[in-house]
Amino acid sequence: MLKSVRQFFQSIFLRVSKEDIKAFDQYLNIGEHALFMQLPEYEKVHAILTAKKMQKLVHSIPDVNERKMVRAALLHDVGRISGKVNLFDKVWLKLAKYFLPPVYHRLAARGQRPGSKFKKFYVHKHHGEVAGEFLKRAGTDKDIIELIVKHTDKTRPSDPKELSLLRQADRTS
């Protein structure tokens, strides 16, 4: 919950600079860039912070591809663009997930139906899978898509190192 509070205040006070966009744009192809630019400002801030954290994490790990991991960090939440979730929606969704999990999961299931008024719940819960569909069309590498699709799954001992790194960067940014 503290992570969520920190992210909320970052969302209010931080902005993505042109320098950040320029520095990280080199990691993305044209389709990925177009998806990234559709994110609301607060999600771009989170993605940039996650990418910066990722750079620090992988810097000392020789067998991890930094470019791949930074791309995954930048794109891990692009599925959220389909739900038009604003910052306050996100707050309410996180609170529902934390305090009313059965209701949250039931509404997320209802949100899968076309035209559902609960689409925001579905997108919030399944944004990794939604991102995977967008990223396939954008020409993203399959291994990056797999990391993004699984980044919200429960942690397992058999998870690859790269998935653990993405979760860690996401959790601490």
**pLDDT score, position 76:** 98
- Rounded CA-CA distance 53/66 in Å is 11
**pLDDT score, position 69:** 98
At 10, is the pLDDT very low, low, confident or very high (cuts 50, 70, 90)? confident
pLDDT in tens, 101-158: 999 999 999 999 999 999 999 999 999 999 999 999 999 999 999 999 999 998 999 9
The full set of domain ranges for the chain reads 2-171
Query: What is the pTM assigned to this prediction?
Result: 0.92
Which fold would CATH assign to domain 2-171? Answer: Hypothetical protein af1432 (1.10.3210)
In the chain, the amino acid numbered 15 is R
Q: What is the dihedral of CA 74, 137, 126, 11, to 10 degrees?
A: 30
Q: Kindly tell me if the per-residue pLDDT of 36 is higher than 70.
A: yes
